């Protein structure tokens, strides 16, 4: 009986030790996971700021220096610049998609569309990397595709409502929005001595051209 009791006590002691080790490992893992998540957020924020300021030619080394982290830490999270740029701009476009979705709740569809375009372009005006992404499309990924599709769907909804309300010029379609953004981007890219808000002037001119008015000429092309 004593041998059985000793075996049982040993087994119970082993289980207790295993429980303590598991608890200790879990308590160690939690701060490690927290640190890893904090580093990930620091890298993303640094990527946002560096790409916005320097464009997509900035390197992961630039981002690591800006974040105050070792280069190895950045490379462990994002193996190359493409992966980091995709993560940064998937978030950025998701936020723009939220702006477009919120615009749908406004009663005046054309006014909501105009307001959304102004806000989205204002973000691009201060984000060199975002403008390069819109212009060149060199960064791709599932997150970016999803966000672009959401923005497109919300804009199509606004255009359809504005058309139904009789506020949108006959012949204007969702396919016109990308060239409009490209035209505004060209104004934003003018030499630095140009007024930084010059693009707003041309956005107003373009928006006036999108409104329906009596006696307007028929738009050429499809």
Q: Provide the residue-wise pLDDT of the chain in tens; the chain has 222 residues.
A: 444 554 444 444 444 444 444 444 444 445 557 788 888 999 999 999 999 999 999 999 999 999 999 999 999 999 999 999 999 999 999 999 999 999 999 999 999 999 999 999 999 998 999 999 988 777 788 889 999 999 999 999 999 999 999 999 999 999 999 999 999 999 998 886 565 688 999 999 999 999 999 888 898 876
b/e 150-175 (16+ beta carbons within 10 angstroms → b): bbeebbebbbebbbeeebbbeebeee
Which residues have CB under 8 Å from 17's CB, separation 6+? none
Separation between Cα atoms, residue 22 and residue 30, nearest integer Å: 12
Separation between Cα atoms, residue 110 and residue 117, nearest integer Å: 11
- Bridge partners, 211 (sequence order): 168
> What is the predicted pLDDT for the residue at 196?
67
> What is the predicted pLDDT for the residue at 35?
80
SS3 220: coil
> What is the predicted pLDDT for the residue at 26?
46
> What is the predicted pLDDT for the residue at 13?
42
Q: What is the DSSP letter of 168?
A: B
> What is the predicted pLDDT for the residue at 30?
59
């Amino acid at each position: 009986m004593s041998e059985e009791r000793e075996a049982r006590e040993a087994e119970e002691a082993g289980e207790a030790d295993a429980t303590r080790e598991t608890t200790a490992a879990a308590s160690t893992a939690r701060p490690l996971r927290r640190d890893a998540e904090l580093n990930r957020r620091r890298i993303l924020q640094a990527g946002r700021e560096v790409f916005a300021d320097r464009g997509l030619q900035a390197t992961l080394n630039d981002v690591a220096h800006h974040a105050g982290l070792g280069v190895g830490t950045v490379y462990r999270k994002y193996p190359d610049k493409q992966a980091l740029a995709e993560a940064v701009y998937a978030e950025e476009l998701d936020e723009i998609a939220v702006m477009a979705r919120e615009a749908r709740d406004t009663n005046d569809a054309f006014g909501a569309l105009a307001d959304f375009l102004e806000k989205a372009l204002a973000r691009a005006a201060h984000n060199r990397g975002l403008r390069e992404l819109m212009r060149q499309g060199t960064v791709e990924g599932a997150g970016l595709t999803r966000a672009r599709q959401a923005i497109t769907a919300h804009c199509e909804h606004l255009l359809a409502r504005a058309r139904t309300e009789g506020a949108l010029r006959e012949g204007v379609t969702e396919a016109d929005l990308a060239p409009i953004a490209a035209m505004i981007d060209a104004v934003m890219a003018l030499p630095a001595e140009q007024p930084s808000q010059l693009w707003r002037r041309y956005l107003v001119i373009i928006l006036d051209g999108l409104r329906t008015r009596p006696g307007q000429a028929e738009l050429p092309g499809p």
